[in-house]
Amino acid sequence: MKVSLSECPIEDAMRVLGGRWRSLVVYYLKDGPKRFSDLRRDMPKISQRMLTLDLRELEAIGVVSRTVYPEVPARVEYRLTDDGQALMPVIHALSGWWAGVAKRRNAEAA
């Protein structure tokens, strides 16, 4: 992860969840481990490359863990770490916040 320029925890937190897909990866792993193909199915518009890059970065940060099972063919599963699980209230709060904003905008437009 890049070095914080402002030494502000919000900057670092947004770097973890920033981008189009990372918060969705965390959200889709909330119910337990998933394989790469399951995540691709959950997010059909993400490219294989972007999912790979985001999973690697989330793993490097310590939000996601990767388990490779010694089988042929190899089976790989991704799951949230304890730090990843700790993000769930934030993800739910963002979801609730946006639902309220969208509801108000729709009411104003009507």
Contacts (Cβ under 8 Å, ≥6 apart) of 30: 80, 85, 88, 91
Gap between the Cα atoms of 58 and 101, Å rounded: 28
Look at residues 64, 66, 67 and name the one whose alpha carbon lies nearest to residue 83: 64
Provide the whole-model pTM: 0.84
- Domain borders along the chain are 9-109
Is the confidence at residue 4, as pLDDT, over 70? no
Q: Is the pLDDT of residue 1 over 60?
A: no
For residue 79, count CB atoms less than 10 angstroms from its CB and return exposed for 0-12, middle for 13-18, buried for 19 or more. middle
Query: What mean pLDDT comes out for the span 99-107?
Result: 91
Which residues have a Cβ under 8 Å from the Cβ of 32 and sit 6 or more positions away?
79
Please check the confidence at residue 110 and state whether its pLDDT lies above 80: no
Segment 43-101, tens digit of pLDDT: 999 999 999 999 999 999 999 999 999 988 889 999 999 999 999 999 999 899 999 99
On the question of pLDDT at 35 being above 80, the answer is yes
Given a cut of 80, whether residue 5 has pLDDT beyond it is no
Cα distances from 107 to residues 22, 95, 99, 110, in angstroms, run 30, 18, 12, 5
Q: Is 62 left (phi over 0), alpha (psi -120 to 50) or beta?
A: left
CATH topology for the 9-109 domain: Arc Repressor Mutant, subunit A (1.10.10)
Give pLDDT, residue 56: 96
